[in-house]
Amino acid sequence: MRLANRVAATKASGIRKIFDLAADLKNPVNLSIGEPDFAVPSPVRDAACEAIRAGRSGYTPTQGNREFRRALLESMNGKYSDSQVLVTSAVSGALTLAYLSLLEQGDEILVPDPYFVSYKQLAHVVGATPVFYDTYPKWKADPAGIEKLITPRTRAFILGSPANPTGAVYTREELAAIAAVLKKHDIVALSDEIYSAFCYGCEFVSFGEVYENTLVMDGFSKSHAMTGWRLGYAAGPEELIEAMTKFQQFTFVCAPAPVQAAGIVALRTDVSEQIAVYAKKRDLIYSGLIAAGYEVEKPDGAFYILPKVPRGTDVEFVGECVKNNLLVIPGSVFSEKATHFRIAYTAPEEKIREGLEILRRLR
């Protein structure tokens, strides 16, 4: 079969290779999974069941269920108007539509290194080039460094805060300094805010608050543990939302109707207890890694931590971990460098302790 060139250009996620390696392990300590380990809050589950029973199973408008959209606009404190919001098939849907709408063959998008895998691979899907801005070793971008990478082909900039895989959370001042560079060169920002609920003792600031020309993307996969429900949204410049809506019409069509109905309830459902549990897990994993002698930056958000490997390459070290029944991910899955490994602390406390004990022995 003759496949399109974009197939070869796009690499399959390296995470899957770890799952293949792990297939033979019995009851491994699994600190590799980027999904919350708490249940979807029961009022949200009830709302979805009720919507299904009530027969709310048809297509919704392409932009999304009207009532849900209204609730979303309210939750964003009236910053956006109705024509500036689009309900999407989770943040992955929003990212896909944004890349399709903004990037031509040969265009460049500024992508953080380390990155969430899709930021890089979606560029290849649309024939664009990801240009990496370095955030090593403290996981923060340097605005002057970003400016040096801007060329006449630069069309967009993407940032996640709180970030996967680093857990970094940008302050208002840090975002404003980046925004000043983007504004000078009139570059649109894509802001992935999927971990906005997961900030530990720090303020979450949306890039949309400091820079007008920003597409904000958020969703319910992480905050409400709804990874398989596929619900998210994008908000930002009307022209871009209109373009994305056009592509949604011919691709995703709409996010699942009963899930959109449940989204109204999700917006009203407090998850602060679940977040408090994750703050404790963050403390446990960070202090455990420091005590074991790992070189690691303290993450302020999300549910990942990215320590430096103690020796060799990331793949070699993760191989040792797997042999010792611990699943973590090589940093090079999320980076052009091979020096770190990602731990997702979305596991019960006793599993995190077991994982730390294995890491202490391997140090």
Please select the residue that binds ligand PLP; options are 48, 51, 87, 90, rule is CB under 6 A: 90
Stretch that binds ligand PLP, among 21-29, 86-94, 124-132, 316-324 (CB under 6 A): 86-94
CB neighbour class for 20 (10 Å; exposed up to 12, middle 13-18, buried from 19): exposed
- 307 near ligand PLP, rule: CB under 6 A: no
Burial (CB count <10 Å: 0-12, 13-18, 19+), residue 57: exposed
Query: What CA–CA distance (Å, rounded) separates 225 from 122?
Result: 24
d(CA 91, CA 173): 25
Contact between 345 and ligand PLP (CB under 6 A)?
no
> Using the rule CB under 6 A, is 245 a contact of ligand PLP?
no
Beta-ladder partners of 129: 108
In angstroms, the Cα distances linking 108 to 216, 237, 309, 335 are 20, 20, 31, 17
Which residue is associated with the tokens 């983007």?
182
Residue 314 interacts with ligand PLP (CB under 6 A)?
no
Does residue 164 bind ligand PLP (CB under 6 A)?
Answer: yes
- Considering only residues 63, 221, 245, 346, which one is a binding residue for ligand PLP as defined by CB under 6 A? 221
Residue 299 touches ligand PLP, criterion: CB under 6 A: no
Provide, rounded to whole angstroms, the least separation between the CB of residue 219 and ligand PLP: 4
R_g of the chain, CA atoms, integer Å = 20
Residue 91 is a binding residue for ligand PLP (CB under 6 A): yes
Residues 6-35 as x/- pattern, contact with ligand PLP by CB under 6 A: ----------------------------x-
CB 12, min distance to ligand PLP, A: 16
**Site membership for ligand PLP, residue 92 (CB under 6 A):** yes
Q: Which amino acid makes up residue 196?
A: S
Is 192 an interacting residue with respect to ligand PLP (CB under 6 A)?
yes
Q: Contact with ligand PLP (CB under 6 A): which of 13, 62, 121, 227?
A: 227
Crossing angle of the two packed helices 272-291 and 349-362, in degrees rounded to 10: 20
Under 8 Å between Cβ of 234 and 86: yes
Binding site for ligand PLP (CB under 6 A): 34, 90-92, 116, 160, 164, 192, 194, 219, 221, 227, 232
